[in-house]
Amino acid sequence: MNDDLDPRTPVVIGVGQFSERIDRPDYRGLSPVELAAAAAEAALVDSGADPAVVAEALDTVAGVRQTEISLPGLPTTLGRSDNFPRSVAHRVGAAPRRAVLEVGGGQSPQHLVNEFAGEIAGGRAEAVLLVGAEATSTTRHLSAAADKPDFSEHVDGDLEDRGYGLSGARSSYAVDHGLTGAPVLYALFENARRARLGSSRAEYARSMGELFAPFTRVAARNPHASAPIERTAAELVVPTEANRLIAYPYTRYVVAREKVNQAAAVLITSITTARALGVPQEKWVFLHGHADLRERNLLDRADLSESPASVSAARHALEMAGVGVDDLATFDFYSCFPIAVFNTAIDGLGLAAEDLRGLTVTGGLPFFGGAGNNYAMHAIAETVERARTAPGSFGFVGANGGALSKYSAGVYSTRPVPWRVDDSASLQQQIDRLPAPAQVLRANGWATIETYTVTYDRDGSRAGVVVGRLEHDGGRFLAQTCSDDEEVLEMLSSGEPIGQRVFAKWTPRGNRLAVSDVRMSHLYPARVPAFREHYEHLTVRRDGRVLEIVINRPEQRNALHPPANDELDEVFDAFFADPGLWVAILTGAGDKAFCAGNDLRWQARGNRVWVPEGGFGGLTDRPSLPKPVIAAVNGFAMGGGTEIALTCHLVVADVTATFALTEVKVGLIAGMGGLIRLPRMAPTKLANEMILTGQRLGAQEALSHGLVNRIAPAGGALAAARELAAEILAVSPTSVRVSLQVMQETQAIADIRAAVQHRSAAVDELLVSEDMIEGVQAFAEKREPRWRNR
């Protein structure tokens, strides 16, 4: 048997699972490493060979990334291993030459099988342990305990950490519009599918319940299930106090159950190694078909109701195996939400929810448990065990990651088959070439709803999230409902919102949606430029024609957080609109800093960050500054502080001033105009060095490179700025304004002759202005002009 196969052909020789629940008498509160080691030991035993000998033969251990290390910045409440694969390997007596920590995503277990089966077939590995574990239930249960355990551990040895794998999965645009959790994202797809099918809300809810009710029956019989309770279709989808709405159409019972203590492991070797280890041939399971594909980013998808990547991956794996859906004995479709099963199993492969074979071998993520990124490892373990009990049968595993973003598929059987390379690359090219609508970041005007959801907090508050299409060009955008707009929330919560006409408006906090332009005007009335009596984060002083603005946050080195930015935006609106003010001076309180940029401490505390319409400091994103603005730089101008200074028309710095674009030192970029303005103002090499290293520039050097107009003594920047303002006040304010406008209009004209010949309406206005007439008369009469700015 199997003598005609290449001896490097990969075979699964062992699988193992382990779990514990906090409500059971045998609960021990094991760490993820301990859970994983127990599953790995079970896999070693399952091979039928000497576990110690198999462990010694392992040359590779690849670990699935735990939930708590799948996103940057998440706390590891009870600590963690700094080398998860080697921690597990050490506990089972293995010393692999290679240790891998896979990227995040539910596709990762099946992807690892596909990848390392290929590594074995290519002779680059002989014996591989794949393992993953989650102890999220224990972490929550014990994190507040007085004697809580410490799961931290250090393990020597190299680690191939592949990172979070978040490319394309997250964007500030999505986060700004409430797309911060899986239920919200998947609900958008679910509602788009419901609308495509023409189902009513009640009909679609019933179909979700009918899809998942059989899953609960499987989970009820699974000893590793975290929620082994059989439920009816109605129980799953009818909202109750225990089964509250989370994001329409999802109730709690139909979303992945994240609090679990579960682990699973898979052993893969070559046929040569399996024989050398003494693994009985009845334990061997072959990978007959496999595929790995990824969907385009959320807003780049042609149809939000479908997932062509998952369907293509499933079909390709079956084609490789030479079988159809009727030939399969078992299935496990990733089931974090109903849409994941609907898209692949029902719409893609034509299966029925009531298929007697069942669409899961574990019970599915909402009922067996959504073991973080490692769920599919359990599905593979169950599929392998069932394949052995029915030799020659075929089992399918489909694993989904991200927001229907990545899909890995595998077809398993004890029937011998040579290793074959899949054609995922060419299929991926087809997916990447699918048409997609243009994206609009700032949506304004009438639009239609493409898909939506309404989220529900425990306190009963609601919020709407919408994907829309602008009427005038079809551009796709994200939007949220206004927090107190019950009118649009009611529209989203009843009937069929998809296709409804709505009005979109961009605000500094993101795109907002209302049922009409009149309603939007009521919710977001146009701000009339005006000065307040008092500002919380600024001091504002009017001195004749000059407006002095002081950033008054000296304890934070005048770093700006959103409320301070909003005040500056409001003040500059009022300044530019006030004909009696001709020049503005901006400086910082105290003698330490002009502005230390963005207030990162505010951001680190989890506060929401936004920038007003005028940009950082109320200046960096304005289309033009129609009146002179002088930066009086006293001390540090770091990051955003330098970006503000670069935006101002004139800069006066005292001898202590320091300029730098320090964003790269904290993992950011100078995204408020620094990357554009500095290379246009400073020598290229200097600009590159400042941007790429965060190099600091002193006042004198900044002057030598033309970034500063004047140097003042220490503490004298404001006084020097007032002198410069007085010089501007001595000339025609109308001429100043027109000069600024013409410079702005011709800035993008590369050809100097064409720029000189540019006709500006502002010049025509100047020629008939009172200031032009007064200036000529005053010159002829040899007197000082009396400027009117009209």
User: Is residue 339 within 8 Å of residue 256, measured between CB atoms?
Assistant: no
Which run of H or of E encompasses 250?
A: strand 250-251
**pLDDT for 3:** 66
Residues 9, 423: contact at Cβ < 8 Å? no
Domain membership flag for residue 616: yes
- Rounded CA-CA distance 716/712 in Å is 5
CA 448 to chain centre: 25
Distance CA(790)–CA(697), nearest Å, equals 41
What CATH number does the domain containing 545 carry? 3.90.226.10
- Contact between 451 and 192 (Cβ < 8 Å): yes
Tell me if 193 is assigned to some domain: no
Q: What is the pLDDT of residue 763?
A: 77
Residues 619 and 716 in one domain: yes
Do 558 and 577 lie in one domain? The reply is yes
| 737 and 697 housed in the same domain | no
Rounded to whole angstroms, the Cα distance separating 220 from 750 reads 72
218 belongs to a structural domain? no
- DSSP annotation string for 640-685: HHHHHHHHSSEEEEETT-EEE--GGGGT---TTTHHHHHHHHS-HH
What pLDDT is recorded for position 2? 60
* pLDDT value of residue 169: 65
Task: Answer yes or no: do 322 and 267 share one domain.
Answer: yes
> Residue 4: inside a domain, yes or no?
no
What is the pLDDT confidence band of residue 171, given thresholds at 50, 70 and 90?
A: confident
Asked which of 409, 432, 455 is the last residue of a domain, the reply is: 432
User: In 479-540, where does DSSP find H-type helix?
Assistant: 486-492, 517-523
Report which of 166, 169, 180 is spatially closest to residue 510, judged by C-alpha positions.
180
351 band by pLDDT with thresholds 50, 70 and 90: very high
Question: Catalytic one among 643, 701, 727, 745?
Answer: 643
Question: CATH number for the domain including 79?
Answer: 3.40.47.10
Same domain? For 510 and 390 the reply is no
498, part of any domain? yes
Asked if pLDDT for residue 755 goes beyond 80, the answer is: no
- CB-based contacts of 562: which residues, under 8 Å, 6+ apart? 602, 607, 608, 609, 610, 611, 612
In a domain, 198, yes or no: no
Burial letters 266-302, b for 16+ CB under 10 A, else e: bbbbbbebbeebebeeebbbbbbbbbbbbbbbbbebe
Q: How many CB atoms lie within 10 A of CB 309?
A: 29
Q: Is there a catalytic annotation at residue 643? A: yes
- The average pLDDT across 424-451 equals 95
Identify which has the larger pLDDT, 605 or 63.
63
Q: How far is CA 141 from CA 137, 223, 229, 661, in A?
A: 6, 21, 21, 44
CATH number of the domain where residue 497 is located: 2.40.50.840
668 and 553 in one domain? yes
Q: Are residues 508 and 579 in the same domain?
A: no
For the residues 298-308, what does the mean pLDDT come to?
94
- Are 713 and 748 part of one and the same domain? no
**Structural domain contains residue 38:** yes
**Arithmetic mean of pLDDT, 479-506:** 93
pLDDT grade for 761, boundaries at 50, 70 and 90:
confident
Asked whether residue 420 is domain-assigned, the answer is: yes
pLDDT tens-digit map of 624-633: 999 999 999 9
pLDDT at 790: 64
Interval 1-29 mean pLDDT: 91
- pLDDT band of residue 759 (cuts 50, 70, 90) is confident
Residues 449 and 414 in one domain: no
From 398, 432, 466, the end of a domain falls on 432
What pLDDT was estimated at residue 11?
98
487, with CB counted inside 10 A (0-12, 13-18, 19+), is middle
Q: Are 282 and 388 in contact (CB under 8 A)?
A: yes
Q: What is the mean pLDDT of residues 660-675?
A: 91
Domain around 764: 733-781
Taking the CB of residue 160, how many other CB atoms lie within 10 A of it?
A: 12
Same domain, residue pair 721 and 742:
no
774, burial (CB in 10 Å: exposed 0-12, middle 13-18, buried 19+): middle
Mean pLDDT, residues 440-461: 94
State whether 698 and 764 are in the same domain: no
User: Distance between CA atoms of 771 and 766, rounded to whole angstroms?
Assistant: 8
Please state the domain count of the chain.
4
Based on the fold, state whether residues 724 and 741 are members of the same structural domain: no
- For residue 270, what are the β-bridge partners? 10
Running DSSP on this structure, what letter comes out for residue 555?
G
Tell me the backbone φ, ψ of residue 488, rounded to 5 degrees.
-75, -30
- Banded model confidence at residue 697, pLDDT cuts 50, 70, 90: very high
Residue carrying structure tokens 């970029």: 669
pLDDT at residue 514, as a whole number: 94
Across 519-529, average pLDDT: 91
The pLDDT score that the predictor gives to residue 341 is 98
| Listed residues 468, 498, 523: the one ending a domain | 523
Q: Token pair of 284, please? A: 């061997």
> Does residue 210 have an active-site annotation?
no
Residue tagged 């369907």 (tokens): 311
Residue 1 has pLDDT above 60, yes or no: no
pLDDT of residue 361: 98
With b meaning 16 or more CB within 10 Å and e meaning fewer, what string describes 734-749? bbbbbbbbbeebeeee
Average pLDDT, the chain: 93
Select which of 663, 689, 770, 774 is catalytic. 663
